[in-house]
Structure 1
Amino acid sequence: MPSFIERFRAHRRRVVATALATVVAASGLTLGTTAVPSAAHVDDSSLSWTPCPGVPEPSLGLECTTVTVPLDYAKPAGEKIEIAVSRLPSTNPARRRGVLLLNIGGQGDSQAALPLALVSLGLPASVRETYDLIEFDPRGIGRSTPLTCNLRPDQAATLIPPPYARTAADVNQRAADARQIAEQCAQSGTAHLLPYITNTNVARDMDRIRQALGEQRISYLGYSHGTYLGTLYAALFPKRTDRMVFDSVSGLGGLDAVGARRWGLGFELRFPDFARWAASQDATYGLGATPAQVRTRWLQIVDNLDQAPVAGISGAALRAMTYGMLFNDSIFPALASALQALAAGQAPQLPPPPAGGDFSGMLALVCNSPGWSRDIDTYQRHVAVDRLRYPLFGPAAASVWPCAFWPAKPEPRVDISKAGSSTILLVNNLRDPATPYVGAVELHRTLGARSRLVTADQGGHLSYLFGNNTCAKNLETTFLVDGKRPSRDTFCPSA
C-alpha cells in the first residue's frame, strides 16, 4: 500500500486530479497516460482523428491525434517530436467560431479528457456551440513525446513542492536530494530532449497545432501555469490570437523561482478560509470553535507529528497535504477528517491517489525557465526569511528545487511588455494558494490596456468552472462566446 507521503504530497497532478475527481468518477472518464495509436500519426498538412484511447465512452465524441513539430525550432528540418492533441467538436457546426485551446497548467500525465471534464463541470452550452475544444499535452508530458528523469517513488513524492525545511540542515539535505534528481535527468535515455522542453517551445507548438487545424486564429483558456503559456503565445503570435482567457494567473514567469516561492504567501492567505469553515464545524471535527483556535490546533498537530510521526506521517508531510487540499472548498471535509484522525493518533482514511503520472517533463519546463539561483546560500536565506513571513508553508516553497543544478541552460526571456495580443482577460481568485492574486496584478500592470482583470472574491485554485463565483463565470463565458470584455477591471463579490 502506498505510504501517506507517496499519496498526498501536493503535486500539481494530484491537486488538479483531486479537483476533478468527483466529475471524472461520475462520468467514467480516464485522465491517465495512454499511448496514442500509430494510426493517429500525422504531419502538418492533414490530421487523422481517431477515438481517444483510455476514454471508455467513444459516443461522447472525443477524438485524438498527434501533430509533428521540430524538437529544435532553430533546426526545423531536424529531429521531430509528437504533440498529442484531443478534440471535442462543436455541438453546432453552423455556429462554430473556431477552436478553443485548453491547458490545465502543471501536469504530470495526459489530460486528453479535459474537454469532457470541463463539460461535466458545467461548461456552458454556448461555449460548446462556439468552439471545438482542443486539449494538448505539452512536449515532454503525457501522450506527447515524453521526457523522463527515472524518478523513484520517494523522489516523485517530494518533487513539487520541496519538503518543509525546519532547519538549515534540512535545506542542505534537500540540496543533495535535488542534485541527484538533476543528475538523473541528465543521464536518462531522454536527456537529449532536456534543452528543448521549454515554455517558449510549447508556445511555438501551439501555433503548429493552429496550422494543423487549418485555423487563422485560436482562442485559448489556460489555467495556472497555462496562463504563462498563453502569455508567451500572445506575445509571439499576436496576429494569430482571438479570445484569450488566463485563469489563475501565475505571474510574469509562470512556475519559475518567483512563482514557486509565492506558494508560502498563497498558503497563508488561503488557510483562514479553511479555518473559518472548520470552526463552523467544530461539533463534528473538534478542531476549534474559532479560526484562531483551528490554526493553533493545526500547528499543534504538525509539531506533534514532527516529534512522533503517525503511520509514517510527519509534520512536513501534513503541511504538503494541507497545501494540496486547500485548492478547493469541496476538499475541506476530507482535510478536517484527516486532522481529526491524526490528532487522535490514528492514520487518516484517505482516497486513493490518481494512477500514473511523471512530472519529469513539467520539471523541465520549470527548470528551463530563467531566474533559478545555483547558490544554495540563497535558498538558505530565502527559507530563513519566509519562515518568519509565511510560517505555515514558506520554508517549503522557498527551498531547493532540482533547478539549482539543472544541466541545461535557461531559455531566454521573452519580452511580453512591448507587443502582443490586446484581447486578453485575466481572472484570479483573491485567495488562491497556488497562484496568489499578486501575480495577476503584476501581469495586468505589464500588459496594460491589452488586458482586463476580473477579481473573484473567493479562495481556492482555478476559478472558471471550479469555483462558485457566478459573476466571474459569467464574465468569462460572455467573453468567450461574444468577445465582449468588461469595459474596465471588475471586482466580483463572493457568492
Structure 2
Amino acid sequence: MRSRSRAAMIVALSVAACAGVVSAPAYAAAPADSPVSSLKWHPCTAEGSAPGAECATLPVPLDYRKPSGPTVDIAVSRLRSERPQARRGTLLLIPGGPGGSGVEGLARKGEKVRKATKGAYDVVSFDPRGVGGSTAADCGVSEDDRRMVEFRAWPDPHGDISDGVARARRVAEACARNGGDVLRSLTTRNEARDIDSLRKALGEKKLSAVGTSYGTYAGAVYAQMFPERTDRWVLDSSGDPDPSRALRGWLANMAQGADDAFPDFARWAADPARGKDRLAERAEDVRPMFLAMAAELDRKPRTFKDTGRPLTGNLLRQVMQLSLYGSERYPDLATLMQAVRNSSGTDPLTVAEPLTELLSQRDVAVFAGIACNDVAWPRDVASYERAVAADRARHPLTAGMPATITPCAFWKDEPAEKPTRITSRGPSNILMVQNLRDPATPYVGALKMREALGDRARLVTVDAGGHGVWLNSGNACSDRAVSEFLVSGKRPADDMAC
C-alpha cells in the first residue's frame, strides 16, 4: 500500500486561505532581462525513470524580484514525440499535491500520454521547487510530528483538537527555525513563474498542459498570470478557486467528497461477486457498519503485532478516505474492515500499518510552504474548534478532520502576495474534466472553477467516482474528449456529460 505518491496524497490538498485577492500579478513573471536557462538533456538514470526519458535541471530565481540573485534547481523530465513529423509542441504535465513529483508521474503515465496524443507532443514534467529531484525543502520536523495520521490532525474521538493544535504549533516553529528562503519561496504563484521559465527554456512560445488535482489550481493560476502563453489547457479534477479561502477550501470540501464517494464503495462491498469478502448484503448497511467500527476503535484501539502501534478509529478513517480515490483501492478498506469485524485479538492488519510510517521532511515542508505562504490562515484556535464540531455533525465519515487546524495558524511570515483570482478574462482554450463523485476535489468545487472561468472553459462531467479522470478512470468518452482536444484542438461546443 505504501508508495511515495500515496504518502504525498496524505498531505495533498491540506492547504488554506483567508486573504485579499488579485487578478493581475504583483510581480507576474521573471522580468524581461531575466536570464533564460538552457536545458542540458541526458538519459534519466534514477530508479523508476520512464524508459527512453531524458532529464535536465533548470535553475530558476529563488526570488523573481531578484532575477540575478540566488537560484533553485527544478528537475525536469521529457519523453520526446515518437513521431517528429506529427509534433506540434510541448505538453506539460503539472503534478498534483502540493508535493507531487512530476518526474515520477511521467514515469508512471508518460507513455500512455504519448500514445493518446499520437506523437503530437514532447511530453514534459517537473518536480516543483522543494520536491523530489529539485532543490529540497526541509523544516527539520521531529519524527513524532511526521506520522501520517497525526500530521493530518484528526480530532480525538470526542472532537478535541488539543493535540493537533500543539503539533501544528511545533511544526510551524520548526519551519520558522529551519525552512529558510527556500521554504519561504514555495507558493503557487512561484510555481506558475517556474513553469513559465521552463517554457522559455524549452523554446516554446506557448505551452499545452494537463494539470491534475492541485495541478489544476497551479495550471489555472498560470493561465490567469500568463494567458497569452497557453495553447491547449486541460484541468483534470479541479477544486474551488475561491480566493478568499484558496486551498483551505479544498481541504474543507473533502468532507463532502467522502460523502459523495462512499456510496460507490458501499455498492462494491455489498456486491455478491465479493464472495466471502462481501461486507454486507445491502449497500445501505455499509456506511453504518463503518461508522460503528470507527467508534469501536475509538473506544478500544487494536495493536499491530510487529510495531506495537495502535489501530485507531482515525487510522480506519484515513484508510477509508484514501481508498475512495479509486476502485482499485477498495480492497484496502474492505480487508481492514473484515479484520476489525472478524478478530477480537491482536492483528497484523498490514493494510493500515503503512499509514503509521513517517512522511518525508520534503512532504511536510512543501505542504506547509504552499499552504501557509499562499494565503493567511485564521489565528484563533477557537474558530477551528467550532468548525470541527460543525463538520463532525454534518460529515461523520471524516469526523472533523477537513476543518481542523494546520501549522498555518501559527505561521511566522505573512504571505508575500495576495492570491490570484481566477476570472473569465483570457482565451477560450481550457477543457475541464471531472468525476461526479470525486473524494478529494468534489464536484461542487469543480463547478466553482467552471463558473470562475466562464467562457474560457468547457466542462466534461463523468458519472464516476474516484480522483483523476484522463487515462485514469477507464471512461472512454472522457478520454476521447481530452485526447481529441489535445491532438486536434477540437473542444466540445458546450459542457457535456460522459
TM band (smaller chain): 0.7 to 0.9
Instruction: After TM superposition, give the deviation of residue 381 of structure 1 in Å.
Output: 1.3
Measure, in 2, the Cα distance between the counterparts of 1:275 and 1:15. 25
Which whole-Å deviations, capped at 9, do the CAs of 1:74-99 have from their partners, x for residues lacking one? Answer: 11122111111111111111111111
1:210 CA displacement? 0.3
Q: Which of 340, 343, 355 pairs up with 1:342?
A: 340
Q: Which residue of 2 aligns with 1:313?
A: 311
Q: Which position in structure 1 is the counterpart of 2:388?
A: 383
Structure 1 residue 289 corresponds to structure 2 residue 286: no
When residues 51 and 396 of structure 1 are mapped into structure 2, their CA distance, relative to the original with a 3 A threshold, is: same
User: Could you tell me which of 77, 81, 103 is aligned with 2:68?
Assistant: 77
Aligned to 2:330: 332
Q: Matched residues in 1 for 2:133 and 2:205: separation?
A: 26
The residue aligned with 1:62 is 53
1:248-283 alpha-carbon deviations (Å, 9 max, x no partner): 002205972111111111111111110111011464
Pairing partner for 2:204 from 215, 221, 225: 215
* CA distance in structure 2 between the aligned counterparts of 1:56 and 1:172, rounded to whole angstroms: 41
Instruction: Indicate if the aligned counterparts of 1:422 and 1:449 stay in contact, CA closer than 8 A.
Output: yes
Amino acid at match of 1:426: M
What residue number does 1:245 align with?
A: 234
The 5-angstrom pairing of residues 168-317 of structure 1 reads 168=159, 170-188=160-178, 190-252=179-241, 256-281=247-272, 283-311=275-303, 312-317=310-315
Amino acid at match of 1:249: S
TM-superposed deviation, 1:437: 0.6
Letter in 2 for 1:296: P
Q: Find the aligned partners of 1:387 and 1:334 in 2 and give their Cα distance.
A: 24
Q: Do the aligned partners of residues 131 and 381 (structure 1) sit closer, same or farther apart at CA in structure 2, a change above 3 Å counting?
A: same
Query: Partners in 2 of 1:9 and 1:319 — Cα distance?
Result: 19
Confirm whether residue 400 of structure 1 aligns to residue 405 of structure 2: yes
Identity %: 39
Task: Kindly provide the amino acid, as one letter, of the partner of residue 319 in structure 2.
Answer: M
Is the contact between residue 436 and residue 463 of structure 2 (CA under 8 Å) also seen in structure 1?
A: yes
Which amino acid in the other structure matches residue 233 of structure 1? Y
Deviations 1:341-368 (A, max 9, x none): 1222333233985998431113211222
User: Structure 1 residues 9, 373: closer, same or farther in 2, change over 3 A?
Assistant: farther
Deviation at 1:222, TM superposition (A): 0.5
Tell me what 1:322 maps to: 320
1:161 and 2:152 correspond: yes
Secondary structure at the residue paired with 1:211? helix
Letter in 1 for 2:137: L
Larger CA deviation: 101-110 vs 420-429:
101-110
CA distance in 1, matches of 2:49, 2:315: 37
Runs of 4+ in structure 1 over 6 Å off: 6-10
Residue by residue over 1:159-199, the C-alpha shift from the partner in whole angstroms, topping out at 9 and shown as x without a partner, is 6632144335x2122111101001111111x3222321110
Give the superposition deviation at 1:475. 0.5
SS of corresponding position for 1:112: helix
Q: Of 476, 479, 490, which residue of structure 2 is paired with 1:473?
A: 479
The answer on whether the counterparts of 1:246 and 1:427 sit within 8 Å (CA) in structure 2 is yes
Structure 1 spans left out of the alignment, 5+ residues: 17-42
Counterpart residue type for residue 489 of structure 1: D
- Residue identity matched to 1:198: T
- Further displaced range: 211-220 or 107-116: 107-116
Letter in 2 for 1:395: G
Instruction: Please say if residues 302 and 316 of structure 1, whose CA atoms lie closer than 8 Å, have aligned partners that are also in contact.
Output: yes
1:155 and 1:272 map into 2 onto residues whose CA distance is 33
AA aligned to 1:74 is R
- Equivalent position of 1:365 in the other structure: 370
RMSD: 2.5
Amino acid at match of 1:102: L
Relative distance call for 1:84 and 1:395 in structure 2 (3 A) is: same
Q: Distance in 1 between matches of 2:353 and 2:204?
A: 41
Shift of residue 209, structure 1, vs aligned partner: 0.1
Q: CA deviation at 1:133?
A: 0.9
Q: Measured at CA, do residues 159 and 78 of structure 1 come closer, stay the same or move farther in structure 2, by a change above 3 Å?
A: farther
| Structure 1 match to 2:136 | 146
- Report the alpha carbon displacement of residue 416 of structure 1 after superposing the two structures with TM: 2.2
Structure 1-normalised TM-score? Answer: 0.87
**What amino acid is the match of 2:202?**
L
Look up the SS of the partner of 1:181 in the other structure: helix
Equivalent AA in structure 2 for residue 71 of structure 1:
L
- Which stretch shifts more, 323-332 or 347-356? 347-356
Contact in 2 for aligned 1:44/1:68 (Cα 8 Å): no
Q: For the Cα contact (< 8 Å) 1:10–1:323, is it kept in 2?
A: no
Q: 1:49 to 1:456 in 2, by over 3 A?
A: same
- C-alpha separation between the residues in 2 aligned to 1:235 and 1:474? 26
- Alpha-carbon distance between aligned partners in 2 of 1:15 and 1:375, rounded to the nearest angstrom: 22
Q: Structure 2 CA distance, aligned partners of 1:422 and 1:324?
A: 34
Distance of aligned partners of 1:248 and 1:375 in 2 relative to their CA distance in 1, 3 Å threshold: same
Residue 468 of structure 2 corresponds to 462
Q: 1:53 to 1:74 in 2, by over 3 A?
A: same
Q: Which amino acid aligns with 2:162?
A: N
**1:103, distance to aligned residue in structure 2 (A):** 2.0
C-alpha distance in 1 between matches for 2:70 and 2:494: 46
SS in 2 for 1:475: helix
Q: CA deviation at 1:445?
A: 0.7
Q: Which residue of 2 aligns with 1:484?
A: 490
TM-superposed deviation, 1:231? 0.5
* Residue type of the alignment partner of 1:216: K
Match of 2:40 among 44, 48, 60: 48
Q: Is the 8 A contact 2:458 2:492 kept in 1?
A: yes
RCO comparison, higher one (Cα < 8 Å, 6+): 2
Which segment is superposed worse, 302-311 or 370-379? Answer: 370-379
